[in-house]
Amino acid sequence: MALNRRRFLQLAATSAAAPALIGRAAGQGRSWANGTPFTLGVAAGCPRPTGFVLWTRLAPEPLTADPNLPGGLSDTSIDVAYEIAHDNAFQDIVTRGITATEREFAHSVHVEVDGLEPGRSYWYRFMSGDAVSRTGRAMTAPAAGTALDRLRFGYVSCSNYELGYFSPYRHLADENPDFVMYLGDYIYEYIETRRPTVRKHSDGVEATTLATYRNRYAQYQTDPDLQRLRAEAPGLITWDDHEVENDYGDQWSATFIEPAPFLQRRAAAYRAFYEHMPLSPRLSRPDGPSMRIYDRFDFGTLARVSMLDGRQYRSRAACYGPPKKGRAHFETPATCPELMDEQRSMIGAEQEGWLYLGFAQSPARWNILGQDVMMARLRSTEGDLRDAYWTDSWDGFPSSRARVLQRISDTKLSNPVVLSGDIHSYWANDLKLDFDKPNAPVVATEFVGTSVTANPPPEEQMRRYVRDNPHIRYFEPKFRGYVSVDVTRERMQTRYRTVSDVTDPNATVSTLKNYVVENGKPGAVES
């Protein structure tokens, strides 16, 4: 006899039902023809002291040609059961329940779990019909006020499926991090036509519609190394441009699509992003082309992590306009006075206010900003790019950057550290109120991670920036990988981890460089 959802919940509270029984209760006796609908794995995110968000998506046919059958499913709604346990054998189950998926959101699951114990590991899984997902692990954050001694995490960005294998994800999973920060360009929307490819985007088209964005995420998430990392540790997540379109900002397309049709494309991209990420349905469920993803996470009194959205709310690129100034470009204050307009913002007035409130109220020893593009200034003092700024990074919004750094200074924020992606290379930067003064005090430290697979920037040009900007402590473009971070009360240690060859699925990993920031002493020191 099939159990209805209410009866299931009554039984679940008093019995240790077998996964098969639970699955049948959720899937109404469905038998999945290919063995599993959980082809895209499982994930957790948004760790809080009493819970986190659990994610999966039912997709027995993850790459589908029919846009009306996401994941190969025609059902309007399908029930999915979940279990959370103290152990990976599920002998000590803490809670279980059933949630209903919707075809509107591609049968994705977003369960916002509450009522768990702070500061401990849990294991979780999903069931539907006769199918059981792989097991995932997630940690709750420590209780507020906890004097946490240590935190380990990693961060990644810029994973182009066509340009290599995702071995950096596997090696980061091996480090058993408490959480992982995804700092943007989780997918690439375009098709590679200029460089040799290692593997191909399945549909051979640029993602511009809901169906093509869904297929792009689905293809990435069939990757075994990415699945493993997502199952190993909860994610803190933001985006950059390639989740929608290269170099876009707010409603402004890099290819000069009018705002109204471009916002339709953005709405499709944001929905697909939500459908594939362990984001809070309460906070982040998309509303057309709008979707809040900026958020903060406290880990006792040791660390506060603020995840920023650097795309959705930014002002239009300085001197934007056809035929050539849609994509990122160089501008000088002399030729483009708009660049220095004090009203322009990288993250929007509302998010700025939220960030500053977080500065003022932070209980943490370490205050970490996770965001998409480099914050440090890159200005050339010679040649055809003299005094020019790159418009797609914080350099394109110098007044906005100055406000953030000034607020860090004014509030005497404890140990501010900015973690960034986007530029496909490793950097260590001192952040100052006045970048023109080599002896100006350092107010924060920035570490930039390289890409997972995406190709490096032009080295000669970047080396010129290093020479012209003494606040840049380190730059290295040749390697792909990730960054591993250990935080204690007295220091933050950052390790630049590189893989031997992204074209080799069995690539090995090594440490390229170690940097330390000491408590109370902004600035990176090589260790």
Residues with Cβ < 8 Å from 115, sequence gap 6 or more?
50, 51, 95
Domain segments of the chain as ranges: 5-139, 151-205+230-260+289-526
pLDDT at position 380, please?
Answer: 83
Q: Measuring CA to CA, how many Å separate 161 from each of 22, 227, 310, 456?
A: 36, 14, 23, 15
C-alpha–C-alpha distance, residues 366 and 181, integer Å: 16
- Classify domain 5-139 at the CATH class level: mainly beta
Q: Measuring CA to CA, how many Å separate 111 from each of 75, 102, 282, 314?
A: 20, 13, 10, 30
- Chain CA centroid to CA 414, Å: 24
* Residue 443 near residue 402, CB atoms below 8 Å: no
Axis-axis angle for helices 224-232, 167-174 (nearest 10): 30
How sure is the predictor about 128, in pLDDT bands with cuts at 50, 70 and 90?
Answer: very high
How sure is the predictor about 140, in pLDDT bands with cuts at 50, 70 and 90?
Answer: very high
Give start and end residues of each alpha helix (H) in 247-397: 259-275, 281-284, 349-361
| Strands of 159-300, DSSP E | 179-183, 235-238, 295-299
Residue that the structure tokens 């509270």 belong to: 13
pLDDT at position 30, please?
Answer: 84
pLDDT at 226 over 90: yes
**Strand, helix or coil at 181?**
strand
**Mean pLDDT in residue range 100-122:** 97
β-strands 366-370, 416-420 pairing: parallel
Residues 38-77, buried b or exposed e (16+ Cβ, 10 A)? bbbbbbbbbbbbebbbbbbbbbbbbbbeeeeebbbbeeee
**Could you give phi then psi for residue 218, rounded to 5 degrees?**
-60, -40
CB pairs under 8 A, 24+ apart, for 403-409?
Answer: 403/352, 404/352, 404/355, 404/375, 405/431, 405/432, 405/433, 405/443, 405/444, 406/433, 407/355, 407/356, 407/359, 408/359, 408/443, 408/444, 409/433, 409/443
395-448 confidence digits (pLDDT tens): 999 999 999 999 999 999 999 999 999 999 999 999 999 999 989 999 999 999
The two structure tokens encoding residue 218: 């689905």
C-alpha–C-alpha distance, residues 65 and 49, integer Å: 42
pLDDT at 93 over 90: yes
Closest among 228, 231, 33 to 126, alpha carbons compared: 231
Looking at the domain 151-205+230-260+289-526, which fold is it? Purple Acid Phosphatase; chain A, domain 2 (3.60.21)
The two structure tokens encoding residue 361: 């109220």
- How would DSSP label each residue in 376-402? S---B-SGGGBT-EETTSGGG-HHHHH
The two structure tokens encoding residue 223: 């990757």
How sure is the predictor about 23, in pLDDT bands with cuts at 50, 70 and 90?
Answer: low
pLDDT at position 98, please?
Answer: 97
How sure is the predictor about 382, in pLDDT bands with cuts at 50, 70 and 90?
Answer: confident
pLDDT at 66 over 70: yes
pLDDT at 18 over 70: no
C-alpha–C-alpha distance, residues 12 and 6, integer Å: 10
Closest among 359, 352, 277 to 313, alpha carbons compared: 352
| Strands of 228-332, DSSP E | 235-238, 295-299, 303-307, 330-331
| Type of residue found at 431 | L
Question: Which one is predicted more confidently, 173 or 461?
Answer: 173
pLDDT at position 465, please?
Answer: 84
CB atoms within 10 A of CB 198: 16
Residues in the chain: 527
pTM confidence score: 0.95
- Chain CA centroid to CA 490, Å: 27
Closest among 120, 114, 117, 154 to 137, alpha carbons compared: 120
C-alpha–C-alpha distance, residues 294 and 178, integer Å: 20
294-344 confidence digits (pLDDT tens): 999 999 999 999 999 999 999 999 999 998 899 999 999 999 999 999 999
pLDDT at 11 over 50: no
Q: Measuring CA to CA, how many Å separate 344 from each of 316, 348, 392, 400?
A: 8, 8, 13, 7
